Every structure is written in C-alpha cells, then in structure tokens.
Chain A
C-alpha cells in the first residue's frame, strides 16, 4: 500500500518535473527568439540610418538591406507556429494574416518588382515596420524576463496608433506604383489555353489585395485598440462571442 502510494507521488513528481523542464525550455527558446528578432530589426534600423546619413538619398537603400530584411521577416513565420502549438497566446489567424501580408509585401512586391524599389513609399513602410518590430520584440523579451520597463509597454501599445495607418499607406502606395510594371511584364500570370485549364492575372490579384485592406485593416486596428485598453488601463473587454 505504502509503496504504491509512493509510486503514485514519484510519478506525479516526474510528470511535474517534465512539465517544468518543458516550460523552462519553451521560455528559453522564446526569450532567445525575441532577443534575436529585436537585434535583427535594430541592425536593419541602424543600417538604414547609416545609409541615409552617408549617401543623403534613399535611392539604393532597399537593395542595401534587402537580404537582412528578407531573412528576419521570413523567419517571423516561426511565430505562427508558436501560436499554433499554444506557447504564445495570440490567435493563429490574427498572427497568420499579419505575417502573411508582410511576406507578401517583401517577396511578391518589393523584391520581385525592381522598378519600384526606390519609391518613397517603400522607405515609409520600412521605417514603420522597423519601429514597430523593435518595440514589439523588445516588449516580448522584457516580458519573458519579467523586467518590463513601462516605456517599452507604452511604446508597444501607443506607437501603432500612428504607425499602423502610415504603414498601410506605404504598402498600398507601393503596390499601386507596381501595377503598371506588373501589367506590362505579365509576371506571375498564366493565360489560356493551357493544359490545366486555369488562368491567373497577377495584376488583378494585386488590385484584389489592395481592396482586401478595406475590411482587414480596421479589424486589426480595432483589435490592437482593444488590447491597448486592456493592457494599459486594465479594462475588461467583453468580446463578441460566436
């Protein structure tokens, strides 16, 4: 009797230990990830500033940071995985939509359409993204280390109020600038006849992407506003259920 009781508690202790090491591993990984991303975006910010100070122009700036940007922005896909397995409490869909729109802007617009890489709108969204990501990742890092300076929390939940709309403007203006080049080159498009009996026009696809900002952006913005009220002012927000 006594031994089986002991076995029971030993097993329990083992399970608890497993859970503790698992959550310690998870915390270690998340801390490393967020420090790495903060560092990455800081490097981007510094490189961009140095370029502008040294050259006095934004022409060629995108090309100089392209590789670093592609690396760190693509790596952010990992975050969708974090949400999916539940180690981060954000919804997969919210995070997924944000990461996908970033990946789309980087790989399918700015990177592949060279003629628009020197547009001012590109610099606009790059600056916005850099500031947002540095404040977001440093917020996560400090939260995980349980030492969150108030100004980081303040930055994370207030900068977006101005930066989100500015970022959207930069992105939309860039896509709009790219349209004539897409039409002329027929890139990423497929015409009839072909053996798959399908066609795809990247030009109209981009227009649909631009239109999709209309329903999507307000939802993300309002979501952030609700988060802000909850985190900064401790308000309990009753979400619409179903």
Chain B
C-alpha cells in the first residue's frame, strides 16, 4: 500500500506549518486534522479549515485522501477559523437567558420598577398566561436542544455567542419589561382576543415540535445525511406539502399568537425581526435543497405557502 505525504501550508503566508509522512491513502480529513492538532496543540480540529486551494472551500471531515485530486505528496492550505464553541452550548446559553430574565421581570425583582411594586404580581390574568407561554416556549427549546435536534455542524465561531445572546436576552428584557409593568394595558378585545391568541400559540408550538421530531427521524443517530422531508401521519407535518421550512412557519405563528395575546409593540417588533431572519435562513435552506435534489417537490415555498 502506497503511503501519502501530506504538507500543510498557511493559506495566507504560505509558510510550511506541518509535514506528515506515511499517511494512509484511506485517511480522512478529520484524521489529518487530528494529526495536525498534535503538532499545533492550540489549533484543535474544530477550528481548522483545510482546503486544496488557499481561497477555496473547506474540505469536509469525511473526505478521504485518496479520493481527492492530489498527488502522493498532497499540499493542503490551513486557515484558522478562530475560537469555536459547540452549537449545544450556544443554544443552551441563549435560551436559558430569556427564561430567567422574563421571570425576573414577572416577579418584579427590585430595581426594575418603582420600589413600591417590588415582588408584587400583576392584577391581569393575561400577564400570568403570557409568563406561562413564554416560559413554556423556552423550556421546550432547551429540551429540544438536549434531546431532539441532530446538529450537522459541531461548532460555530465563539463571537456568535455574544451576538446571539445579546439578541435573545436583550429582546426578552425589553418585552418582559412592558408586559409585566404595573401600568400594563391588557388587550382591547379582552377575553376573545386572548383566547384566540392562546389557540394560535399552542397550535404552532405543537406544530413546531412535530416538525422537529420529523426532521430528527430523517437522520439516523450520529449521521450527517440530508434527505428531503415529507409529510408523515402527523397532520401537523402535512404543511411539508407547501413549505420547505415549516419549523420557521410555525415559529412565526407562535410569536404572532404571543403578540396578539400581549398586545405589546416590542413583541411585534421581535416577531418582525425574527421573521426577517428566519426568511433569510429558509430561503438559503430551500436553495440548497433545490441544488442537492433533482426531484425536489416544485410546489414548496421556503417559508410562507405560495408567498415567500
């Protein structure tokens, strides 16, 4: 069996960083990354981007050396992706924040409102309902992160956690401040409005969860394969007929329900910003589905049936 020699150069300076000899032909990029890590312990595999061309795309961990367009002396270029953090860690941190922060406003912890309101509770029952819904939503997200989601990427850049937490925690504080304020005004149409809002919210929460389960079942444990999602026996998944990313559709629905329930402009604003971001993601996902699968159902739209 002929062995390969692998040299790794810095993509920017072209300095020789590492030379590996006697590499097996069936070695994967992932294994090469581990070997590189041994000689440069500060660059753990998750922050290595290995590519054939200094300006080219990153090679995947699963790529096998002998199947790449390289000679028996393979030259790879390395780029440092910067400090990395696992997706699970980011999700857990960014979702725990809103849960705790909202509750702090709900219980009217001191120094938020005038001191005469410390530790009092709102006289409006919709405020209690809103707290339950908001908390339920984030507990659901935390449990899904721990037990449901199967992530294709292990890590993301460290600076994302600051950006994401600022967004989630900041908006949670802004919304919670007004909903739990002593001068909060309940919805104009009273019980009817709140009841309708609650139905929409619960419907979309169940829908969103159903989609997450359906997506999880597409992918065997530990794998990173991608398949076209299809409707299952669960009626909440039948929306797959019309939409590529129904998890975002249901998420939008949940927040619209919450906006209606609380009649609070900051909530509407949060819903809008979230919708814009999710539309960007949905369009990207839809495009990659179309690129990867020739037989992708043509009736589907990225996020809103027939519209967007």
> Which residues on the B side are within 8 Å of A192 (C-beta)?
178, 181, 183-184
Interface contact A197-B188, CB-CB below 8 Å: no
- Known A-B contacts: A193-B185, A197-B184, A198-B265. Give 4 more (CB < 8 A): A193-B184, A197-B178, A197-B179, A197-B266
> Which residues on the A side are within 8 Å of B179 (C-beta)?
197
Q: What separation, in Å, do the CA atoms of A197 and B264 have in the docked complex?
A: 5
Cβ of A194 under 8 Å from chain B: yes
A-B contact pairs, 25 of them (CB 8 A): A192-B178, A192-B181, A192-B183, A192-B184, A193-B183, A193-B184, A194-B185, A195-B185, A195-B188, A195-B263, A196-B263, A196-B264, A197-B178, A197-B179, A197-B181, A197-B185, A197-B262, A197-B263, A197-B264, A197-B265, A197-B266, A198-B178, A198-B264, A198-B265, A198-B266
Q: Digitize A147-167: 1 where CB-to-B-CB distance is under 8 Å, 0 elsewhere.
A: 000000000000000000000
Closest to B184 in A: A197
> Which residues on the B side are within 8 Å of A197 (C-beta)?
178-179, 181, 184-185, 262-266
CB distance from A236 to the nearest CB of B (A): 15
> Which residues on the B side are within 8 Å of A15 (C-beta)?
none
A-B residue pairs, 7 tightest by C-beta: A198-B265, A192-B183, A197-B264, A193-B183, A196-B265, A197-B178, A193-B185
> Which residues on the A side are within 8 Å of B184 (C-beta)?
192-193, 197
- Among the interface residues A195, A196, A198, A199, which one has the most CB atoms of the partner chain B within 10 A? A198
Closest to B264 in A: A197
Q: What separation, in Å, do the CA atoms of A119 and B213 have in the docked complex?
A: 64
Q: What separation, in Å, do the CA atoms of A193 and B188 have in the docked complex?
A: 13
Closest to A198 in B: B265
Q: Digitize B162-204: 1 where CB-to-A-CB distance is under 8 Å, 0 elsewhere.
A: 0000000000000000110101110010000000000000000
Q: What separation, in Å, do the CA atoms of A197 and B265 have in the docked complex?
A: 6
CB distance from B132 to the nearest CB of A (A): 18
Q: Digitize A193-210: 1 where CB-to-B-CB distance is under 8 Å, 0 elsewhere.
A: 111111100000000000
CB distance from B238 to the nearest CB of A (A): 36
Q: What separation, in Å, do the CA atoms of A214 and B184 have in the docked complex?
A: 35
> Which residues on the B side are within 8 Å of A199 (C-beta)?
178
Q: What separation, in Å, do the CA atoms of A193 and B264 have in the docked complex?
A: 11
Closest to B177 in A: A199
Q: What separation, in Å, do the CA atoms of A195 and B265 have in the docked complex?
A: 9
Q: What separation, in Å, do the CA atoms of A192 and B188 have in the docked complex?
A: 16
CB distance from A205 to the nearest CB of B (A): 14
Q: Digitize A171-208: 1 where CB-to-B-CB distance is under 8 Å, 0 elsewhere.
A: 00000000000000000000011111111000000000
> Which residues on the B side are within 8 Å of A195 (C-beta)?
185, 188, 263
> Which residues on the A side are within 8 Å of B183 (C-beta)?
192-193
Q: What separation, in Å, do the CA atoms of A196 and B264 have in the docked complex?
A: 5
CB distance from A208 to the nearest CB of B (A): 13
Q: What separation, in Å, do the CA atoms of A199 and B178 have in the docked complex?
A: 8
CB distance from A10 to the nearest CB of B (A): 34
Closest to B188 in A: A195
CB distance from B243 to the nearest CB of A (A): 29
